[in-house]
Amino acid sequence: MRVKVRLFARLRDIAGAADLARELPGGATAGTVWNLLAAEHPELAAYRGAVSVAVNAEYARMDARIADGDEVAFLPPVSGG
């Protein structure tokens, strides 16, 4: 299956792209997507305990199951206001 990945702020800078697409095996979770990206960009690994994840623009957990066509967003610690 194919998922759309969105990265923000410093995560986007590290990966060099705001929007990505990745092929994943069935049964993949948000964590599967994260591990894939962290393997591609080792600097991302440092964010493992601090990153938040959203699936289809709703907050989710790393163990959330992903379906074909889902949008998975990884969010570094926030600083709005």
Partner 1 sequence: MGAPAFVVTTDPLELEPLIDAVARRLEGAPASAGAVTSFLGTVRNENRGRRVERLEYEAYEPLAVKSFERIAAEAAERWPDTHVAVHHRTGALAIGEASVAIAAASPHRADAFAACRYAIERIKQIAPIWKHEFFEGGDVWIEGATADPDDEEARTRALQAACA
CA atoms of 68 and 43, how far apart (whole Å): 27
C-beta closer to partner 1: residue 23 or 60: 60
| Least distance from partner 1 to the Cβ atom of residue 61, Å | 9
The amino acid that residue 61 corresponds to is: R
| Least distance from partner 1 to the Cβ atom of residue 49, Å | 8
Count the alpha carbons within 13 Å of 18 in the hemisphere toward its beta carbon: 2
Q: What residues line the site for partner 1 (CB under 8 A)?
A: 6, 8-10, 13, 49-52, 54, 57-59, 73, 75-81
C-beta closer to partner 1: residue 44 or 73: 73
Query: Please, which residues have CB within 8 angstroms of residue 12's CB and are 6 or more apart in sequence?
Result: 18
